Chain A
Protein backbone atom coordinates (compact mmCIF):
# COMPACT_ATOMS: atom_id res chain seq x y z
CA UNK A 1 0.00 0.00 0.00
CA UNK A 2 1.33 3.41 -0.95
CA UNK A 3 1.79 5.87 1.89
CA UNK A 4 -0.24 8.57 0.12
CA UNK A 5 -2.67 7.67 -2.65
CA UNK A 6 -4.46 9.87 -5.13
CA UNK A 7 -6.48 9.18 -8.26
CA UNK A 8 -4.14 9.99 -11.10
CA UNK A 9 -6.96 11.32 -13.26
CA UNK A 10 -7.16 13.17 -15.43
CA UNK A 11 -10.18 14.82 -13.88
CA UNK A 12 -12.04 17.01 -16.34
CA UNK A 13 -14.65 19.55 -15.23
CA UNK A 14 -16.41 22.40 -17.06
CA UNK A 15 -15.64 25.98 -16.16
CA UNK A 16 -17.66 27.12 -13.16
CA UNK A 17 -18.13 23.62 -11.77
CA UNK A 18 -16.80 22.17 -8.50
CA UNK A 19 -13.67 20.04 -8.80
CA UNK A 20 -13.24 17.40 -6.09
CA UNK A 21 -9.81 15.90 -5.46
CA UNK A 22 -9.27 13.05 -3.04
CA UNK A 23 -6.37 11.56 -1.11
CA UNK A 24 -5.92 8.72 1.37
CA UNK A 25 -2.93 8.05 3.61
CA UNK A 26 -1.65 5.07 5.53
CA UNK A 27 0.11 6.52 8.61
CA UNK A 28 -2.61 6.92 11.22
CA UNK A 29 -0.31 9.08 13.33
CA UNK A 30 0.01 11.80 10.67
CA UNK A 31 -0.92 15.26 11.91
CA UNK A 32 -0.26 17.70 9.06
CA UNK A 33 -1.75 17.65 5.59
CA UNK A 34 -1.12 19.82 2.58
CA UNK A 35 -2.32 20.45 -0.95
CA UNK A 36 0.07 21.70 -3.59
CA UNK A 37 -0.60 22.81 -7.14
CA UNK A 38 1.96 22.18 -9.85
CA UNK A 39 1.70 23.70 -13.29
CA UNK A 40 3.50 21.96 -16.13
CA UNK A 41 7.18 22.82 -16.07
CA UNK A 42 6.94 24.57 -12.71
CA UNK A 43 7.65 23.55 -9.12
CA UNK A 44 4.89 22.73 -6.62
CA UNK A 45 3.14 25.65 -4.91
CA UNK A 46 1.46 25.33 -1.50
CA UNK A 47 -2.24 26.20 -1.66
CA UNK A 48 -3.73 24.74 1.53
CA UNK A 49 -2.70 23.19 4.82
CA UNK A 50 -5.03 21.48 7.30
CA UNK A 51 -4.36 20.00 10.72
CA UNK A 52 -7.76 19.35 12.37
CA UNK A 53 -10.75 17.27 11.37
CA UNK A 54 -13.35 19.17 9.41
CA UNK A 55 -13.29 21.80 6.71
CA UNK A 56 -10.94 24.71 6.09
CA UNK A 57 -11.88 27.32 3.51
CA UNK A 58 -9.64 29.76 1.68
CA UNK A 59 -11.29 31.63 -1.14
CA UNK A 60 -12.48 29.14 -3.76
CA UNK A 61 -10.60 26.30 -2.07
CA UNK A 62 -11.89 24.06 0.73
CA UNK A 63 -9.78 21.35 2.32
CA UNK A 64 -11.52 18.56 4.23
CA UNK A 65 -9.85 16.20 6.70
CA UNK A 66 -11.18 13.01 8.27
CA UNK A 67 -8.46 11.40 10.38
CA UNK A 68 -10.63 8.43 11.35
CA UNK A 69 -11.02 7.52 7.68
CA UNK A 70 -7.47 8.68 6.85
CA UNK A 71 -8.89 10.83 4.08
CA UNK A 72 -8.15 14.33 2.84
CA UNK A 73 -9.92 16.16 0.03
CA UNK A 74 -9.72 19.45 -1.80
CA UNK A 75 -12.73 21.15 -3.35
CA UNK A 76 -12.29 23.90 -5.91
CA UNK A 77 -15.43 25.96 -6.42
CA UNK A 78 -16.15 27.96 -9.56
CA UNK A 79 -13.32 26.18 -11.37
CA UNK A 80 -11.40 28.29 -13.88
CA UNK A 81 -9.23 27.21 -16.83
CA UNK A 82 -6.28 28.65 -14.87
CA UNK A 83 -6.90 25.94 -12.24
CA UNK A 84 -5.80 23.32 -14.78
CA UNK A 85 -2.74 21.75 -13.16
CA UNK A 86 -1.60 18.71 -11.20
CA UNK A 87 -2.69 18.73 -7.56
CA UNK A 88 -0.43 16.99 -5.08
CA UNK A 89 -1.55 15.77 -1.67
CA UNK A 90 1.20 15.73 0.96
CA UNK A 91 1.22 14.21 4.43
CA UNK A 92 3.63 14.92 7.23
CA UNK A 93 4.71 11.65 8.81
CA UNK A 94 6.79 11.09 11.90
CA UNK A 95 6.80 7.31 11.53
CA UNK A 96 10.33 6.17 10.77
CA UNK A 97 11.66 9.68 11.09
CA UNK A 98 10.53 13.10 9.95
CA UNK A 99 9.43 13.39 6.34
CA UNK A 100 6.71 14.77 4.11
CA UNK A 101 5.33 12.23 1.67
CA UNK A 102 3.67 13.28 -1.57
CA UNK A 103 1.03 11.49 -3.56
CA UNK A 104 1.52 10.97 -7.27
CA UNK A 105 -0.88 13.83 -8.03
CA UNK A 106 -4.19 14.26 -9.83
CA UNK A 107 -4.25 16.09 -13.16
CA UNK A 108 -7.16 18.50 -13.39
CA UNK A 109 -8.45 19.97 -16.65
CA UNK A 110 -10.99 22.77 -16.52
CA UNK A 111 -12.73 23.19 -19.88
CA UNK A 112 -13.76 26.69 -20.94
Chain B
Protein backbone atom coordinates (compact mmCIF):
# COMPACT_ATOMS: atom_id res chain seq x y z
CA UNK B 1 0.00 0.00 0.00
CA UNK B 2 1.16 3.49 -0.73
CA UNK B 3 1.84 5.63 2.31
CA UNK B 4 0.55 9.04 3.22
CA UNK B 5 1.56 11.69 0.72
CA UNK B 6 1.78 15.41 1.30
CA UNK B 7 2.25 18.19 -1.20
CA UNK B 8 4.14 20.37 -1.55
CA UNK B 9 7.15 19.21 0.47
CA UNK B 10 8.60 22.70 0.83
CA UNK B 11 7.09 26.16 0.65
CA UNK B 12 8.45 29.65 1.10
CA UNK B 13 5.85 32.35 1.57
CA UNK B 14 5.79 36.00 2.58
CA UNK B 15 3.97 37.41 5.58
CA UNK B 16 0.36 38.17 4.77
CA UNK B 17 0.05 35.55 2.04
CA UNK B 18 -2.06 32.43 2.31
CA UNK B 19 -1.12 28.82 1.73
CA UNK B 20 -2.92 25.52 1.05
CA UNK B 21 -1.38 22.19 1.97
CA UNK B 22 -2.63 18.85 0.70
CA UNK B 23 -2.67 15.36 2.19
CA UNK B 24 -3.63 12.03 0.61
CA UNK B 25 -4.18 9.28 3.20
CA UNK B 26 -3.44 5.59 2.96
CA UNK B 27 -6.05 3.81 0.85
CA UNK B 28 -8.96 2.76 3.05
CA UNK B 29 -8.18 5.25 5.80
CA UNK B 30 -11.08 7.57 6.54
CA UNK B 31 -9.52 9.83 9.15
CA UNK B 32 -6.92 12.52 8.66
CA UNK B 33 -5.29 14.59 11.39
CA UNK B 34 -3.02 17.59 11.01
CA UNK B 35 -0.20 18.65 13.32
CA UNK B 36 2.21 21.55 13.49
CA UNK B 37 5.71 20.68 14.64
CA UNK B 38 8.22 23.27 15.83
CA UNK B 39 11.42 22.76 17.83
CA UNK B 40 10.05 24.63 20.82
CA UNK B 41 6.48 23.34 20.92
CA UNK B 42 6.70 19.79 19.63
CA UNK B 43 3.72 18.27 17.84
CA UNK B 44 0.66 20.46 18.25
CA UNK B 45 -2.76 19.16 17.23
CA UNK B 46 -4.52 21.23 14.54
CA UNK B 47 -7.55 19.25 13.30
CA UNK B 48 -9.00 15.80 12.99
CA UNK B 49 -11.36 14.80 10.17
CA UNK B 50 -13.39 11.67 9.71
CA UNK B 51 -15.63 11.04 6.71
CA UNK B 52 -15.59 14.72 5.69
CA UNK B 53 -16.54 15.93 9.20
CA UNK B 54 -14.23 17.86 11.47
CA UNK B 55 -14.22 15.93 14.73
CA UNK B 56 -12.03 18.31 16.64
CA UNK B 57 -9.92 21.43 16.31
CA UNK B 58 -6.87 22.38 18.29
CA UNK B 59 -6.11 25.68 19.96
CA UNK B 60 -5.09 27.61 16.87
CA UNK B 61 -6.45 30.91 15.53
CA UNK B 62 -9.18 31.02 12.92
CA UNK B 63 -6.55 31.67 10.24
CA UNK B 64 -6.03 27.92 10.25
CA UNK B 65 -8.75 25.95 8.52
CA UNK B 66 -9.14 22.63 6.85
CA UNK B 67 -11.46 20.28 5.07
CA UNK B 68 -11.76 16.70 3.97
CA UNK B 69 -13.14 15.48 0.68
CA UNK B 70 -15.28 12.46 -0.10
CA UNK B 71 -12.19 10.48 -1.18
CA UNK B 72 -10.66 11.19 2.28
CA UNK B 73 -8.04 13.55 0.89
CA UNK B 74 -7.62 16.60 3.08
CA UNK B 75 -6.40 20.15 2.73
CA UNK B 76 -5.47 22.73 5.28
CA UNK B 77 -5.28 26.44 4.65
CA UNK B 78 -3.47 29.16 6.53
CA UNK B 79 -4.44 32.72 5.71
CA UNK B 80 -2.58 35.93 6.51
CA UNK B 81 0.66 34.13 7.24
CA UNK B 82 2.78 35.23 10.17
CA UNK B 83 6.47 34.55 10.83
CA UNK B 84 5.47 32.25 13.69
CA UNK B 85 3.65 29.96 11.27
CA UNK B 86 7.00 28.68 10.00
CA UNK B 87 6.97 25.01 10.91
CA UNK B 88 6.74 21.46 9.69
CA UNK B 89 3.10 20.57 9.00
CA UNK B 90 2.40 16.88 9.34
CA UNK B 91 -0.60 14.95 8.18
CA UNK B 92 -1.46 11.55 9.65
CA UNK B 93 -4.05 9.07 8.49
CA UNK B 94 -5.84 6.30 10.35
CA UNK B 95 -8.79 3.97 9.84
CA UNK B 96 -10.73 6.25 12.15
CA UNK B 97 -13.21 3.94 13.82
CA UNK B 98 -12.75 1.16 16.36
CA UNK B 99 -10.15 0.92 19.09
CA UNK B 100 -7.15 -0.13 17.03
CA UNK B 101 -8.18 2.25 14.30
CA UNK B 102 -6.59 5.27 15.94
CA UNK B 103 -3.10 4.17 14.97
CA UNK B 104 -1.80 7.07 12.92
CA UNK B 105 0.61 6.92 10.01
CA UNK B 106 2.40 10.10 9.12
CA UNK B 107 3.25 11.65 5.81
CA UNK B 108 6.67 13.22 5.16
CA UNK B 109 5.41 16.68 6.05
CA UNK B 110 5.37 20.08 4.40
CA UNK B 111 8.11 22.46 5.53
CA UNK B 112 6.67 25.99 5.49
CA UNK B 113 8.95 28.98 5.80
CA UNK B 114 7.40 32.43 6.18
CA UNK B 115 9.68 35.39 5.47
Contact = CB atoms under 8 A, between A and B. Distances in A.
Interface of A: 31-32, 34, 42-46, 49, 51, 88, 90, 92, 96-105
Given A43-B109, A46-B104, A98 B48 contact: yes
Give the interface residue-count category, chain B. Answer: 20 to 34
29 contacts: A31-B99, A32-B99, A34-B102, A34-B103, A43-B107, A43-B108, A44-B106, A45-B106, A46-B103, A49-B100, A51-B100, A88-B43, A90-B104, A92-B102, A96-B56, A97-B55, A97-B56, A97-B57, A98-B50, A98-B56, A99-B45, A99-B58, A100-B33, A100-B102, A102-B35, A102-B42, A102-B43, A104-B42, A105-B42
Contacts of A102: 35, 42-43, 45
Contacts, number: 56
Contacts of A49: 100, 103
Interface in B10-67: 33, 35, 42-43, 45, 48, 50, 55-58
B81 interface: no
